[in-house]
């Protein structure tokens, strides 16, 4: 895959995002996050709510609020640092080179203008097309995301569409200008389970058709399994394990990853068998600066975990941030 | 839309009937009576009885009401007890003055207030936002009569830039067709008269605009601040759209509903007469006239004017409701 390209499409280096207005104590939502996405590659960013996944994606898009936020590190897109670009330059890239599908289709479309306007405006902004051509393309796009009678739907308003259809529209909008990189921020969480699979299928097909790279942000490892090449697991703002999908599923080393996999309900487990949750809640963390944030919930905790911060280290087949990772023997019980 | 408008117009009929009954009772419940107001302190009982006889005030109230309604249906709103002028004529003569002043004030308030509120919301917490918000608070709490007198003092008396009162300099022998003086000047090509009327509008409309302006600024700021947090604004920004497209198509369109409601309410208030402003600037409009009519217990004038005002209020409300449908498809009526 990397043969034709000598650099990653997107390379996030040591990204940190701190919130807090002047005079207040700053909170690091994201810290030391590095990840690479090669052209056409599908990469997952996995973690619980509040782990910093969405903030990472908004930082890449340049959509963080401009006040009360401090962004550090580098976000290299084709070698150029997006964090140093002017708002105007970023607006030129957004929608055309890098696009995003958001979490909640019910609130992500403007309720007072037609679907058609919302779809064609991105085409008219970035491509040299006439209004009539944009309309034609919009009809074609809606057809491709599986919306029946697209010409009629273009004249309708978002409230006349179901949640699944709205997410299809948002996918069509994001992929309208054939971006090189698509960021999908939990695109299926707000949908019914049956619709989830359909929308995911549409997303998968379109990403494949347009050859876009995909950064899939999710807490659903099932989505990861069907879609992504590489997986980054985040906990409390930092990446704790990063590796190839197959290796991760077969052999999770970080106790948090192991816990996530163990908590997935399985079809072959006996009826009525209890699920295996990760104990505690994501609010029970220690600051990364002096300890491992996951230590309070971790079954593999050793003394070092609460005394100093583990670093993300390359350990042969993966990057891992853990003093006492799961051994091969542990995972057979935990995640098999 | 048309059916909706017609249905709403039909609904106005029972409202107006009810209002006319209430009004009829209310003006008569005012202490004092027109005969005494007309004849003054040294009125003789015989004089009062005669006046009451002439105007029919000695008849049973129900009978008076029925007579009044009968005349109304024939288009007769009665005559002023004080001046003898038909109520309808005086209204047609004075209402344009109020409309001219009210519309100018409202235009000022909207044209300045909406962008200011938008700007403040976009720059929350910064210096200009704080300045605009405290300025609008000052605007709300400043009594109109105080501001009006201050404006007159500074711009008319000290600087001698603008006229102190009236709608037009009486020395200009202007022709009046519609009683909208600026419009009249343009229609008759008496441009000096139009200009003079416009100059006369400046101080009163500024004085009258302050409160609506302050309210519109605050409502716009609050509405825009709320919309800015909406997911669809983030979607619009993720498309890389130009700033003015995001602000107009995605932010303002959605923030407009509460603003339009406020504008409608303010329009109703302004058109029902700005008593204080009209009094301070000796403006020949319905506010001042209505105020005088209350003092005179001029029953026909009070009843007629308040009915007109009610109709105007209802019509403005109808326009506002129709505007909702244009702005937001979700409230569109089938």
Q: Do A122 and B239 touch (CB under 8 A)?
A: yes
Q: How far apart are CA A206 and CA A209, in angstroms?
A: 5
Q: Rounded to the nearest 5 degrees, what angle is found at the Cα of B83, between the Cα atoms of B79 and B85? A: 45
Measuring CA to CA, which residue among A242, A214, A205 is closest to residue A40?
A: A214
Cβ neighbours for B154, distance < 8 A, ≥ 6 positions apart: none
- A176-208 b/e (C-beta count within 10 Å ≥ 16 → b): bbbbbbbbbbbbbebbeeebbebbbebbbebbe
User: Above 80 in pLDDT, residue A299?
Assistant: yes
Chain B residues with CB-CB distance to A108 below 8 A: 231-232, 234-235
- Residue B65 pLDDT exceeds 60: yes
Q: What torsion, rounded to 10 degrees, do the Cα atoms B213, B91, B73, B293 define?
A: 90
pLDDT digits (tens, 9 = 90+) for A41-97: 999 999 888 888 889 999 999 998 878 888 999 999 998 999 999 989 999 999 999
**In angstroms, what separates the C-alpha of B101 from chain A's closest C-alpha?**
34
CA distance to partner chain B, nearest, from residue A152 (Å):
16
CB within 8 Å: A94 and B249: no
Q: pLDDT higher for A146 or B55? A: A146
**ipTM for the predicted complex:** 0.86
Confidence band (pLDDT; 50, 70, 90) for B334? very low
| pLDDT level of residue A325 (50, 70, 90 thresholds) | confident
B114-135 residue pLDDT tens: 999 999 998 888 888 888 989 8
In DSSP notation, A175-214 reads HTT--SEEEEESTTTTS-HHHHHHHHHHHHHHHHHHT-EE
Report the C-alpha gap between A39 and A213 in whole angstroms.
5
DSSP A219-239: S-HHHHHHH-SEEEEEETTEE
For B177-200, write each residue's pLDDT tens digit.
787 877 877 788 777 878 888 888
In angstroms, the separation between the Cα of residue B107 and the nearest Cα of chain A is 25
Q: Which chain B residues are closer than 8 Å to A64 by Cβ?
A: none
Chain B residues within 8 A of A96 when measuring between CB atoms: 240
Q: Are A108 and B254 an interchain contact pair (Cβ–Cβ within 8 Å)?
A: no
- Chain A, window 123-142: residues with a beta carbon less than 8 angstroms from a chain B beta carbon: 125-126
Cα–Cα distance, A116 to A121 (Å, whole number): 8
The 3 state secondary structure assigned to B172-190 is: CCCCCCCCCHHHHHHHCCC
C-alpha closest to that of A310 among A330, A331, A325:
A325
Is the pLDDT reported for residue B273 higher than 80? no
Residue A49 bridge partners (DSSP): none
* Phi, psi (rounded to 5 degrees) for B15: -60, -45
CATH architecture for residues B88-285+310-331: Orthogonal Bundle (1.10)
Chain A residues close to B325, C-beta within 8 Å? none
CA distances for A163 relative to A121, A191, A215, angstroms? 21, 7, 22
Q: Are B248 and A130 in contact (CB under 8 A)?
A: no
Condensed to tens digits (0 to 9), the pLDDT of residues A90-118 reads: 999 999 999 999 988 899 999 999 999 99
Question: Domain ranges in chain B?
Answer: 16-73, 88-285+310-331
Q: Please indicate whether, in this complex, the C-beta atoms of A126 and B327 are within 8 angstroms of each other.
A: no
Hey, is B135 helix, strand or coil? helix
Flag whether pLDDT at A331 surpasses 50.
Answer: no
Is residue A333 predicted with pLDDT exceeding 60?
no
B133-165 confidence digits (pLDDT tens): 898 888 888 888 888 888 888 887 888 777 887
> In the structure, what pLDDT confidence band is assigned to residue A328 with cuts at 50, 70 and 90?
low
Query: What does chain A come to in residues?
Result: 336
| pLDDT of residue A23 exceeding 80 | no
Average pLDDT, chain A: 87
**Is pLDDT at B112 greater than 90 in this prediction?**
yes
Chain B partners of A117 at a C-beta cutoff of 8 Å?
249
Nearest chain B residue to A183 by CA distance is B238
User: For chain A, what is the radius of gyration of the CA atoms?
Assistant: 21
Confidence tier at B327 by pLDDT (50, 70, 90):
confident
Contact B230 A107 (CB under 8 A): yes
Interior CA angle at A162 toward A159 and A165, to 5°? Answer: 110
Instruction: Please tell me whether residue A18 adopts helix, strand or coil conformation.
Output: strand
| B contact test, residue of A121, A155, A158 with most B CBs within 10 A | A121
Minimal-distance CA residue of chain B relative to A90:
B240
For residue B272, what pLDDT is reported? 75
Give A 178-197 residues with CB within 8 A of chain B: none
Work out the number of other CB atoms within 10 angstroms of the CB of residue B242.
Answer: 12
Name the closest residue on chain A to residue B257, using Cα atoms. A112
What residues of B are in the A interface, CB distance below 8 Å? 125, 230-232, 234-243, 245, 249-250, 253-254, 327-330
User: What's the confidence (pLDDT) of residue B191?
Assistant: 79
Q: Which chain B residue's Cα is nearest to A112?
A: B328
Asked if the Cβ–Cβ distance from B240 to A100 is below 8 Å, we say: no
Type and span of the H or E element at A99: strand A98-101
pLDDT of residue B109: 93
Q: Which of B239, B246, B255, B334 to mutate to test binding with chain A, by most A CBs within 10 Å of its CB?
A: B239
Model confidence band, residue A263 (pLDDT cutoffs 50, 70, 90): confident
Contact call for A100 and B238, based on CB within 8 A: yes
* Rg of chain B on CA atoms, in Å: 24
The answer to whether A107 contacts chain B (CB < 8 Å) is yes
Give which of A24, A110, A117 to mutate to test B binding, by max B Cβ within 10 Å.
Answer: A110
**pLDDT value of residue B299:** 84
Give the residue-averaged pLDDT of B310-326: 86
pLDDT above 50 for A334: no
Phi, psi of B141 (to 5 degrees): -90, -10
To the nearest whole Å, the CA of A159 is away from the closest chain B CA by 7
Interface size between A and B, measured as CB pairs under 8 A: 82
Q: Per-residue pLDDT averaged across B14-25, rounded?
A: 88
Q: Which residues pair with A242 in a beta bridge?
A: A232, A319
* Mean pLDDT of the B8-27 span: 87
Q: Is-contact A217 A100, C-beta < 8 A?
A: no
Question: Does B241 contact A109 at a Cβ distance shorter than 8 Å?
Answer: no
- Stretch A299-311: mean pLDDT, rounded? 88
Answer yes or no: are the C-beta atoms of A25 and A2 closer than 8 Å: no
Asked if A215 and A43 touch (Cβ cutoff 8 Å), the reply is yes
Neighbouring C-alpha atoms within 13 Å toward the C-beta of B56: 13
Instruction: Chain A: give the shortest CA distance to residue B324, in Å.
Output: 11
Mean pLDDT over residues A117-145, rounded?
92
Taking the Cβ of residue A112 and every Cβ of chain B, the question of whether any pair is shorter than 8 Å is answered with yes
pLDDT > 90 in chain A, percent: 46
Chain B contact present for A113, CB below 8 A? yes
Per-residue burial over B147-168, b if 16 or more Cβ lie within 10 Å, else e, is bbeebbeebbeeeeebbbeebb
Q: What is the pLDDT of residue A167?
A: 92
Express each pLDDT in B212-237 by its tens digit: 999 999 999 999 999 999 999 999 99
Mean pLDDT over residues A170-194, rounded? 89
CA gap A48, B133 in Å, rounded:
40
pLDDT score of B333:
54
The rounded distance, in Å, linking the Cα atoms of A323 and A309 is 9
Q: Strand, helix or coil at A96?
A: coil
Average pLDDT over every residue of A216-239: 89
Q: What is the pTM of this model?
A: 0.82
Q: Is the CB of A61 less than 8 angstroms away from the CB of B242?
A: no
Whose structure tokens read 């997006």? Answer: A82
**Considering chain B, what percentage of its residues have pLDDT values greater than 70?**
99
pLDDT value at residue A3: 44
Residue B176 pLDDT exceeds 60: yes
Shortest CA gap A330–chain B (Å): 43
**Is A95 part of the contact surface with chain B (CB cutoff 8 Å)?**
yes
CA B104 to chain A, closest CA, distance in angstroms equals 30
Q: Please give the domain boundaries of chain A with CATH numbers for all domains.
A: 10-228 (3.40.50.300), 235-265+284-335 (no CATH)
* A20 SS3 class: coil
- pLDDT at residue B71 above 90? no
Residue B240: which of A67, A91, A112 has the nearest Cβ?
A: A91
Which residue is associated with the tokens 């919009």? A138
B232 min Cα distance to partner chain A (Å): 4
How many residues does the structure list for chain B?
334
Q: How confident is the model at residue A1 (pLDDT cuts 50, 70, 90)?
A: very low
């Amino acid at each position: 895959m990397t043969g034709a390209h000598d650099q990653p499409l997107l390379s996030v280096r040591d990204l940190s995002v701190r919130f807090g207005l002047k005079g207040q104590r700053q909170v690091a939502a994201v810290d030391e996050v590095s990840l690479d996405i090669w052209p056409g590659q599908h990469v997952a960013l996995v973690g619980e709510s509040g782990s910093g996944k969405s903030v990472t994606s908004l930082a890449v898009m340049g959509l963080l609020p401009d006040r009360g936020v401090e962004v550090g590190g580098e976000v290299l897109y084709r070698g150029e640092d997006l964090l140093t670009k002017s708002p105007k330059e970023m607006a030129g890239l957004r929608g055309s080179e890098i696009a995003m599908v958001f979490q909640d289709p019910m609130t992500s479309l403007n309720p007072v203008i037609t679907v058609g306007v919302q779809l064609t405006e991105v085409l008219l902004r970035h491509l040299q097309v006439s209004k009539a051509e944009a309309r034609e393309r919009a009809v074609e796009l809606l057809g491709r995301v599986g919306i029946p009678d697209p010409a009629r739907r273009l004249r309708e308003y978002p409230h006349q569409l179901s949640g699944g259809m709205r997410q299809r529209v948002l996918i069509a909008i994001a992929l309208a200008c054939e971006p090189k990189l698509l960021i999908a921020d939990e695109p299926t969480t707000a949908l019914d389970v049956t619709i989830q699979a359909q929308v995911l299928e549409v997303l998968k097909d379109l990403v494949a058709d347009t050859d876009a790279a995909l950064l899939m942000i999710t807490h659903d490892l099932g989505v990861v399994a069907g879609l992504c090449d590489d997986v980054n697991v985040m906990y409390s703002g930092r990446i704790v394990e990063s590796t190839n999908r197959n290796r991760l599923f077969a052999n999770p080393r970080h106790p948090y990853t192991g816990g996530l996999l163990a908590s997935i309900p399985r079809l072959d487990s006996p009826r009525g068998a209890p699920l295996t949750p990760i104990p505690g809640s994501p609010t029970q963390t220690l600051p990364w600066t002096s300890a491992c944030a996951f230590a309070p919930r971790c079954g593999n905790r050793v003394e070092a975990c609460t005394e100093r911060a583990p670093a993300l280290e390359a350990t042969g087949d993966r990057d891992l941030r853990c003093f006492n990772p799961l051994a091969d023997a542990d995972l057979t019980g935990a995640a098999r | 839309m048309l059916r909706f408008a017609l249905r709403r117009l039909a609904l106005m009929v029972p409202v107006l009937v009810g209002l006319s009954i209430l009004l009829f009772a209310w003006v008569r419940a005012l202490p004092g009576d027109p005969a005494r107001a007309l004849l003054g302190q040294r009125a003789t009982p015989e004089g009062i009885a005669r006046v009451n006889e002439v105007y029919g005030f000695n008849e049973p109230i129900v009978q008076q009401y029925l007579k009044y309604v009968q005349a109304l249906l024939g288009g007769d709103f009665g005559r002023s007890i004080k001046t003898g002028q038909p109520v309808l004529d005086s209204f047609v003569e004075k209402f344009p003055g109020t409309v001219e002043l009210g519309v100018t004030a409202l235009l000022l308030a909207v044209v300045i207030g909406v962008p200011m509120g938008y700007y403040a919301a976009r720059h929350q917490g910064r210096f200009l936002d704080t300045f605009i918000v405290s300025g609008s608070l000052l605007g709300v709490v400043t009594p109109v009569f105080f501001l009006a007198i201050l404006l007159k003092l500074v711009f008319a008396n000290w600087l001698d830039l603008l006229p102190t009162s009236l709608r037009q300099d009486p020395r200009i022998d202007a022709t009046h067709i519609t009683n909208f003086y600026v419009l009249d000047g343009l229609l008759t090509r008496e441009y000096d008269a139009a200009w003079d009327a416009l100059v006369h509008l400046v101080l009163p409309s500024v004085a009258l605009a302050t409160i609506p302006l302050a309210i519109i600024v605050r409502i716009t700021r609050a509405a825009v601040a709320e919309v800015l947090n909406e997911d669809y604004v983030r979607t619009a920004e993720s498309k890389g759209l130009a700033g003015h497209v995001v602000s107009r198509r995605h932010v303002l369109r959605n923030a407009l509903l509460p603003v339009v409601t406020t504008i409608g309410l303010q329009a109703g208030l302004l058109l029902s007469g700005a008593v204080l402003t009209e009094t301070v600037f000796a403006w020949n409009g319905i506010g001042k006239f209505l105020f005088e009519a209350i003092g005179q217990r001029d029953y026909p004038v009070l009843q007629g004017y308040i009915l007109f005002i009610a109709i105007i209020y209802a019509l403005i409300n109808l326009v506002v409701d129709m505007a909702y449908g244009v702005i937001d498809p979700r409230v569109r009526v089938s």
